């Protein structure tokens, strides 16, 4: 683990040193996981929330006050845990609401066609990404793998898999906007 302060690590990351991101994640990963596990009481849910926390950290690290990195990471982790809890609560509520009656909440045929068309266009745009980014997105979105599993499969560090996901999604968003303008 790096002995550099959070401020130095963030400065190194901002100047393009990706190893600084590894040091930041290594410094806080166990603490964040324990914090999330304490809230969620489920290993897999805590792991998913941790991964989402690290993705958010990667997306927003440039705007973080380096003197408050630890507090910011725990705030992000807390919000991720609350999102998980809300999703679970919704799932259980929808299961409780099902009383055997048929509802008219099925989307219409036009909605289905638009959704299928969007999915086809997204697959086409995905093919325009560099192979590394495309593979991370494919494994995360279509196979539902965790970032740690993706990194192991691709033989790369965790932060590389996270960075590829982040950059790939950014590029996909840009391509989508260009094709829908």
Do 82 and 6 have their domain in common?
yes
Domains of the chain: total: 2
Determine the pLDDT at residue 17: 86
Ranges under pLDDT 50 in the chain: 102-103
Supply the pLDDT for residue 102. Answer: 47
For the whole model, what pTM was predicted?
0.63
Residues whose CB falls within 8 Å of the CB of residue 135, separated by 6 or more in sequence, listed in order: 154, 164
Least Cα distance to 47 among 57, 35, 33 occurs for: 33
Q: What is the pLDDT of residues 76-98, one digit of tens each?
A: 999 999 999 998 888 777 665 55
Same domain, 31 and 115: no
Q: Encode pLDDT of 36-65 as tens digits.
A: 999 998 888 898 899 899 888 888 888 888
Q: Residue 23 belongs to a domain with what CATH number?
A: 1.10.1740.10
Q: Is 54 exposed, middle or buried (0-12, 13-18, 19+ CB in 10 A)?
A: buried
> Do the domain assignments include residue 105?
no
* Calpha distance 11→5 (Å, rounded): 10
Q: What does the pLDDT read at residue 130?
A: 95
Residue 30, domain extent: 1-94
């Amino acid at each position: 683990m790096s002995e550099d302060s959070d401020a130095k690590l963030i400065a190194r990351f901002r100047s393009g040193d990706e190893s600084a991101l590894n040091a930041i994640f290594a410094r806080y990963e166990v603490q964040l996981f324990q914090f999330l596990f304490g809230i969620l009481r489920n290993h897999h849910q805590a792991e998913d929330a941790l991964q989402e926390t690290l993705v958010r950290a990667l997306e927003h690290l440039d705007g973080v006050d380096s003197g408050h990195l630890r507090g910011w990471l725990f705030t992000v982790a807390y919000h991720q845990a609350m999102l998980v809890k809300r999703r679970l609560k919704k799932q259980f509520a929808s299961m409780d609401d099902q009383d055997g009656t048929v509802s008219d909440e099925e989307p219409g045929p036009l909605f289905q066609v638009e959704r299928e068309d969007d999915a086809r266009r997204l697959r086409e745009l995905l093919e325009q990404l560099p192979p590394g980014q495309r593979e991370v997105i494919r494994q995360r979105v279509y196979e539902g793998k965790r970032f740690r599993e993706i990194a192991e499969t691709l033989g790369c560090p965790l932060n590389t898999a996270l960075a590829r996901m982040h950059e790939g999604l950014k590029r996909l968003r840009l391509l989508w906007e260009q094709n829908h303008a």
